[in-house]
Amino acid sequence: MGRPTVSRRDFLTTMGLGTVALATPGWAQALGRLPATNSSQRPNIILIMADDMGFSDVGCYGGEIHTPNIDGLAAQGIRFTHFYNAARCCPTRAALLTGLYPHQAGMGGMVSRPGNPKPSGPYQGYLSDQCVTIAEVLHKAGYHTLMSGKWHVGESKPHWPLDRGFERYFGLINGAANYFDFTKAKAPGRKRVIAIDDQPYIPPKEGFYLTDAISEYAVNFLDDYGPQDQPFFLYVSYTAPHWPLHALPEDIEKYRGKYLQGWDVLRRERYERLIELGLLDNQWPLSERDPEVPPWRSIENQDEMALKMAVYAAQIDRMDQGIGRILATLRSLGKEQDTLVLFLSDNGGCHEDSPLGFDLRNNGLPPGGVDSFMSYGSSWANASNTPFRLFKHWVHEGGIATPLIARWPTVIKKRGHIDHQLGHVIDLMATCCDVAGARYPETYQNENVLPLEGQSLLPVFRGKQRQGHDDLCWEHEGNRAIRSGKWKLVSVENGKWELYDMEADRTELHDLAAQQPDRVAELTDRYLEWAKRCGV
């Protein structure tokens, strides 16, 4: 059954970045959606996610991109080295929001497009009624629930953010879009929708840049709800650095010429920094350049390819600037010490759709501007995912390994700590419930809710070892894997199982399947049990 929506139709928009006349404090309580409560003992939570950003792109994970605000979170908190996503945007978002595997939440594949529904079930393409979101759980527990950014787990009503527990929303309902001009669709019939709360919104063609707008609304929500006594949950879901390669000129200039040394040198430099930072075991060799990617020295259009990576870096740089504004606002509110801030990416760097990337406009324009529509290709994505193999969409480490940073000054005392415990995006619901003192429900809106799959990270924040998962599993478009302790069994679509000892070989270079058939058989059985249970 669908969920009721509290609509806010009294907002006003301007023609700038779209400031909103926010509701007066207490409007949600007046509507009966939230209990008025003194929640000073419960922390605020800000969950920030990048889109299609590789494991080694930001500075504190070995990258050369200027990310001082993200790096600052790491310096004051924890960096995780073995944290996993669900390999692609829609499945990861579903798992993050619900604490279930994507298939259990109805998002085993990609989102259903309006007018083209899929059969209901594990691949229906919108969130199931047998799951709840972090927003729904925390909302009921007395939290303000706010979101700015990409939704992508339901394109048709009643499957928008306000239908799933958020009080306030600004952002992109669907996937990749022009960062500057929403009238320029990716392709005919591929309309993109920006919404404010539960209403479509058409941004101005002048002065609009999507990354800045996402940051702007996050700051607006903090300004309005931060001073209140009730705690808040703010989910900031950037589209950056997902293609198209669109960035502001001043940000591109910072990186122009920086990548003329090419992806081979860049991968080696990042690999060495990862070891130096203590994020990578030096017994794990750097994986070979992807077999479909040519050596840099053979590329004829080196200037153009270097510029593509410069634009990609500029997109991450601008996102970091926005995160800086969010953190500064939090600090000005006096809420920095008692706010848990989490940062991660939804999947690895994106290979689409060739080593040199695509150019959907093919108009001779360079990457970066409003009339271009390009990707940076598997060549640079291979560098983004240093030191791992493969990319977004696959479930080898290059597709599913994500940076995760957690900062919570009143609880996380070991500043700059690097933690090697295993985790997964399904753990974020359990973590939010745990730190908020919220109960995960057995039923919601007269529907039975599937039991939580994730496990809280709070013990890790407190400097302890947690029990962790016996197994973690993945499936996306036929790519499949199971991680059990130090062992990982993984396969590409229609491929043979590969077996890796992740303590000795996290870069997945030495397949042990032929030498250990009994272990392959055991892990295969456990994977199949999980697949049957989750509706794969």
| DSSP 8-state code for residue 425 | T
Burial classification of residue 207, based on how many CB atoms lie within 10 Å of its CB (0-12 exposed, 13-18 middle, 19 or more buried): exposed
Q: Which of 132, 164, 131, 161 is nearest to 149 (CA)?
A: 161
Residue 433 a catalytic site member: no
Q: Which of 388, 326, 372, 378 is nearest to 352 (CA)?
A: 378
Candidate list 152, 242, 469, 476, residue with the active-site label? 152
Query: For residue 464, what are the CA distances in angstroms to 219, 423, 536?
Result: 33, 14, 34
Q: Which phi and psi angles does 359 have, rounded to 5°?
A: -140, 95
* Residues 6+ away with beta carbon under 8 Å from 324: 68, 69
3-state secondary structure of 48: strand
Question: What percentage of the chain's residues is helix, strand, coil (to nearest 5)?
Answer: 30, 15, 55
- Are the CB atoms for 232 and 43 separated by under 8 Å? no
Write down the number of H helices and E strands in the chain: 13, 16
Residue 60 a catalytic site member: no
Q: Which phi and psi angles does 531 have, rounded to 5°?
A: -60, -40
Candidate list 60, 66, 89, 432, residue with the active-site label? 89
CA 437-442-444 angle, to 5 degrees, is 95
The encoded tokens of residue 267 equal 């991968």
Q: CB-hemisphere CA count at 13 Å for 222?
A: 27
Query: For residue 394, what are the CA distances in angstroms to 49, 116, 165, 314, 400?
Result: 19, 25, 31, 26, 8
Strand partners for 483 = 472, 488
Q: What is the DSSP string of 489-520?
A: EEE-TTPPPEEEETTT-TT--S--TTT-HHHH
| Distance in angstroms (rounded) separating the CA atoms of residues 443 and 230 | 25
Q: What is the DSSP string of 358-391?
A: -BSS-SSPPTBSTT--B--HHHHHHHHTTTSSS-
* Residues 6+ away with beta carbon under 8 Å from 45: 138, 143, 231, 232, 233, 234, 339, 340, 342, 432, 435, 436
The encoded tokens of residue 232 equal 């808040």
List residues with catalytic annotation.
89, 152
